[in-house]
Amino acid sequence: MSQQHVVLNRTGDKMPLVGFGTWKVQSDQAEDVIYDAIKVGYRLIDDACDYGNEQAVGKGIARAIKEGIVKREDLFVVTKLWNTYHSKDHVQEAFNRQLKDLGLDYIDLYLIHFPVPLKYVPLDKAYPPGWYQSEQATKVEYERSPIHECWREMEKLVDSGKVRNIGVSNFNVQSMLDLFTYCKYKPATLQIEIHPYLPQKRLVEWVTSHDVHITAYSSFGPVSYEDLTDDGRKAKPLLQHDTIKSIANKKGKDPGQILLRWAIQRGIAVIPKSTHVERMKTNHDLFSWELTDEENKELDKLSQGLRFNNPDSYGFDLPLFA
């Protein structure tokens, strides 16, 4: 059986290679969904302020702990700082709200969600606030909150004992290199979009060479973006791609398992989600089998540089990955 976790820098904490994502899990479902995921065997739960479901996710975690399915120390809980709280005056305020909503004493991994400092929105005005500063706004508003100040506040959370590890999401090499020049605590992980249409091979190689682990989101490609972007609607669904279906049939697996195994075989953590228990089980069944070199090469041929989580495609006038 292949390795099921990676060891994080600085703390030596073991982060599961297969976790459970919570983006687009509705609040009225999240408690049951998270409870079921933990029962199935997931030990990493990936959430974010922006998902708007942290209270319900926390209730699912609490229920599983109360019933003795897991202990708190068995779980690896991840959440993310939203863009409107990058100021050194607001990082801890936002984190404390998230910690309270999740009902936890500490977070295993806290990420900066995007390298995008948006104008602050008070918690009592809108929470989570999203990309716009008001319902009437038609463009995003930025503020002068440098990442180096934001990162120092993240490090203070580590020093306080409320956070064990810190990391980033949606950063590129330039952003990572800048962070390396001033950080006291190197980021433990980088979370980015990765799937066969967008393998990000060089970024993954460079970042991991600096002892920073990669987590992939959107492992199934366009399926989560069909309601958000033209690219999401036009791209051939990876779960229905002939190459992936052919490999799945040969292995006696489903296409989703092929996509997830392709990532973890590269040492990349994955965070699939499903509201269906049987699908949760298959998405978690990735370690008793593997893809051959030839099968991986067939999947590598699907690379198109096709990115779906691009703010510029959502009308935000922000070519973040240009």
If one counts every other C-beta atom within 10 angstroms of the C-beta of residue 322, the result is 6
Q: Give me the amino acid identity at 313.
A: S
Annotated ligand binding at 241? The verdict is no
Residues 6+ apart with CB under 8 A from 94: 49, 81, 82, 85, 123
Contact 266, 208 (CB under 8 A): no
* Residue of 42, 51, 85, 185 with catalytic role: 51
User: With the C-alpha atoms ordered 9, 54, 20, 70, is the resulting torsion angle positive or negative?
Assistant: positive
DSSP H or E run through 164: strand 163-169
Supply φ then ψ for residue 32, to 5 degrees: -65, -40
Contacts of 260 (CB under 8 A, 6+ apart): 18, 219, 270, 272, 283, 286
The SS3 call for residue 64 is helix
Is residue 51 among the annotated active site residues?
yes
Binding residue ranges = 113
Residues serving a catalytic function are 51
Binding residues for substrate, by number, are 113
